[in-house]
Every structure is written in C-alpha cells, then in structure tokens.
C-alpha cells in the first residue's frame, strides 16, 4: 500500500526557516512525480513545487524563491526547505506522489496525484 508521511512541521517566528520531510513507501520512487501543496483556512489548495525522478523541479510563481524542493532517493524521502517565512505561510502542508503522469510540473496547477499524505501543520506567528 502506497503511503506518504509528512514530518517536520510546527511553529516558527516570522523570518524563520523550517524543513518538511515526506517519506514515500511502496511506490516507484525513482520515476515518480512528487509535489508539495498547502491549504490555509478559508483558501483553496495551492501548489508549491514538484520534482521528478531525474531531479528536475518546478515552482509556483507565488513562492518567490523562498521554498526549495529536493529528494533523497536512497531514503525515499521528499523535502521542502522553507525560509523567510511569514504569517501568510501558515497552512497545512501536503506531499503527493504519482507515477503515471505525462507532465510533472503541470500538476502544480492541475493536480492529478493519486496519493497524498495526511498533511502537517505549519504556523508562522510572533
């Protein structure tokens, strides 16, 4: 059974940094498209970034370079490094995975991931 488990969330002050992790099991990790999304209260889910097996990445314009997606293949782990955080970044963050996709970057705007994590809370406040 495919599973994705996020970790590394919590509370941080404005301007701080945080690194999220997502462990993927029972899937074709080296060939899979993976991504990070977030959803704030009262807002729709938005894409943050995607990464494919060869390491190519794509970012949503709204991230403004403050978020970095990466992966560790031997550990089957996806990461999201967040920096210069603001209260607007407060949200539940989700990781997702899908192997049967023609375009990974397109998932940022038209997500069609078959597997999602449960989500992890990130709170940015003074």
**pLDDT digits over 97-126, tens only?**
998 778 999 999 999 999 999 999 999 999
Which residue is listed with tokens 């462990």? 23
pLDDT of residue 29: 67
CB within 8 Å of 3: residues ≥ 6 apart: 24, 25, 26, 115
Structural tokens at position 64: 């403004």
Cα–Cα distance for residue pair 21/80, rounded to 1 Å:
7
Structural tokens at position 17: 């940094």
- Average pLDDT in the 27-56 region? 91
Q: Which residue has the higher pLDDT, 54 or 31?
A: 54
**Cβ atoms of residues 119 and 20 within 8 Å:** no
Torsion of CA 27, 100, 37, 29, to 10 degrees: 30
């Amino acid at each position: 059974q495919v599973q994705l488990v996020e970790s590394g969330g919590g509370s941080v002050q404005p301007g701080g940094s945080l690194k999220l992790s997502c462990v993927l099991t029972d899937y074709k990790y080296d060939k899979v498209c993976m991504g990070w999304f977030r959803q704030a209260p009262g807002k729709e889910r938005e894409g943050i970034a995607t990464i494919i097996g060869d390491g190519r990445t794509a970012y949503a314009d709204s991230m403004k370079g403050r978020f970095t997606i990466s992966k560790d293949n031997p550990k089957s782990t996806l990461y999201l490094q967040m920096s210069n955080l603001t209260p607007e970044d407060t949200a539940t963050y989700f990781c997702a995975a899908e192997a049967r996709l023609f375009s990974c970057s397109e998932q940022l705007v038209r997500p069609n991931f078959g597997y999602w994590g449960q989500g992890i809370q990130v709170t940015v406040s003074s």
